């Protein structure tokens, strides 16, 4: 392994807004992973941390190198093995550790990999509060000897984590629903199997075995072409729900009993309503991409809506600052106060299945009113050469008619009967567009098409 210490001679370009992610080996390789491990350990002053990894071809090797870097920094590492990102969050706050790292590139193709970090109590580390310092330290390559050799401790027992998940539902009150579950050959399958033993559900399993080559396509249900298989299976098997995850299962996606994909926006409102029934007057966190339905529901149920910049690191930090009981992003990230203010891809489907059982009505009818009252485009991605110029053109075209213009996260513009959010991706060279209206699908579609033409 070359270039382990001393000035690197070039910048490390795989640092993003709230994690590390890059193509292997040109953007991210073992030498860089080692440097990042040493720099992160020094930055958080760690003595003991946990580490998990996804199923990608390079994840085992990166875990070995990261653990070596920690050991040479005098840090003990609790190795969780094959995990989802949320298991690292849980291991950190439940175990009282100094931090945690997840080796994953989430939904990116198999030739990518990355790192997600938290510090004590699963506090997030992002570009605004630490990633820049970790990057600079990795580039300098000047690492202090830890004074002792840290240990690597295997801890593959998931029973405490599974017990915590089951604590969000009353298993005795659940109905024997039929669920189509699709981990996309990512890491969710083993946890679903552990939960299955304690639940009355019948599971129809698809793309279930972890396989880092992703033989059935990248595990990213945000892409429409990746939804067809799950939709068809729900219809074929007459299931009550369809559930899919991304590779590290920190995002959870839903299909109703008709096999139709349910936009994450409406799931946020559904869960917000449910939490406010149990916690009257609580604060609910949401992102700025699609807002009107969430604001309407939260206020109608006596809660207080709080907005945060999109992205798991920003959302988690705001969850803590405002002590929100629940937070949700339309991109299918869901955050829970009881889960260390962190996001989980397992808790949402348990809660939705519990709601279907309790209300004895299908998911389609639970969200139909909201979808009619606030129709939304869903997130549309476009590759744009000059993102700043494109966003400026949209703002100029619609600025005079706007009731409000906001730049908290990209560009948000509100009008009497419709609104838009246009923002650059934090992980990919894309602009992401969301449009919604007040009970006027034709208007929403018209404005969506207009903006796409501008782009």
Half-sphere exposure of 143 (CA within 13 A, CB side): 29
106 is catalytic: yes
Assess contact for 417 and 443: CB atoms under 8 A. Answer: yes
* E strand or H helix at 261: strand 261-262
Distance CA 223, CA 202 (A): 27
Task: Assess whether the previous peptide bond of 25 is cis (omega < 30° from 0).
Answer: yes
Question: Which residue is catalytic, options 106, 344, 357, 412?
Answer: 106
CA distances from residue 281 to 290, 299, 319 in whole angstroms, order as listed: 22, 9, 15
Residue 100: is it exposed, middle or buried by C-beta count within 10 angstroms (0-12/13-18/19+)?
A: buried
Beta-bridge partners for 335: 327, 343
Q: What is the DSSP string of 432-451?
A: EEEEEESS-HHHHHHHHHHH
Q: Cα 433 to chain center, whole Å?
A: 18
Q: Which residue has the tokens 């993102």?
A: 387
Other CB atoms within 10 A of residue 274 CB: 18
Q: Cα 146 to chain center, whole Å?
A: 33
Residues serving a catalytic function are: 106
């Amino acid at each position: 392994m070359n270039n382990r210490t001393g000035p690197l001679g070039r910048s490390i370009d795989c640092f993003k807004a709230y994690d590390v992610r890059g193509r292997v080996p040109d953007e991210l390789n073992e030498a860089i992973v080692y440097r990042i491990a040493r720099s992160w350990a020094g930055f958080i002053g760690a003595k003991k941390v946990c580490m998990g990894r996804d199923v990608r071809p390079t994840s085992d090797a990166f875990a070995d190198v990261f653990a070596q870097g920690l050991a040479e920094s005098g840090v003990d590492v609790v190795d969780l093995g094959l995990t989802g990102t949320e298991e690292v969050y849980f291991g950190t706050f439940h175990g009282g550790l100094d931090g945690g790292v997840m080796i994953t590139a989430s939904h990116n193709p198999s030739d990518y990999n990355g790192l997600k970090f938290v510090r004590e109590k699963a506090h997030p580390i992002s570009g605004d509060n630490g990633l820049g310092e970790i990057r600079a330290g990795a580039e300098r390559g000047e690492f202090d000897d830890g004074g002792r050799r840290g240990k690597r401790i295997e801890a593959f027992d998931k029973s405490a984590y599974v017990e915590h998940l089951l604590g969000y539902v009353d298993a005795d009150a659940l109905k024997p629903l039929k669920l189509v579950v699709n981990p996309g050959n990512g890491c969710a399958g083993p946890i679903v199997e552990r939960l299955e033993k304690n639940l009355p559900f019948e599971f129809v399993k698809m793309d279930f075995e972890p396989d880092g080559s992703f033989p059935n396509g990248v595990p990213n249900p945000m892409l429409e072409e990746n939804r067809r298989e799950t939709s068809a299976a729900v219809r074929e098997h007459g299931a009550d729900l369809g559930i899919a995850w991304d590779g590290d299962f920190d995002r959870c996606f839903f299909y109703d009993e008709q096999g139709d994909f349910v936009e994450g926006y409406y799931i946020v409102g559904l869960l917000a309503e449910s939490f406010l029934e149990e916690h009257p007057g609580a604060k609910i966190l949401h992102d700025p991409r699609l807002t009107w339905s969430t604001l309407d529901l939260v206020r109608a149920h006596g809660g207080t809506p709080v907005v945060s910049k999109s992205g798991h690191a920003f959302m988690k930090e705001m969850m803590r600052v405002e002590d929100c009981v629940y937070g949700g992003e339309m991109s299918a990230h869901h955050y829970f106060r009881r889960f260390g203010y962190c996001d989980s891809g397992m808790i949402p489907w348990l809660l939705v299945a519990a709601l279907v059982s309790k209300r004895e009505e299908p998911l389609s009818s639970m969200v139909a009113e909201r979808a009619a009252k606030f129709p939304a485009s869903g997130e549309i991605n476009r590759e744009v050469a000059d993102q700043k110029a494109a966003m400026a053109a949209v703002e100029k075209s619609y600025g005079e008619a706007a009731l409000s213009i906001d730049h908290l996260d990209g560009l948000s513009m509100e009008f009497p009967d419709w609104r838009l959010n246009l923002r650059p991706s934090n992980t990919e060279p894309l602009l992401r567009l969301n449009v919604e209206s007040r009970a006027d699908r034709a208007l929403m579609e018209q404005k969506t098409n207009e903006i796409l033409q501008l782009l």
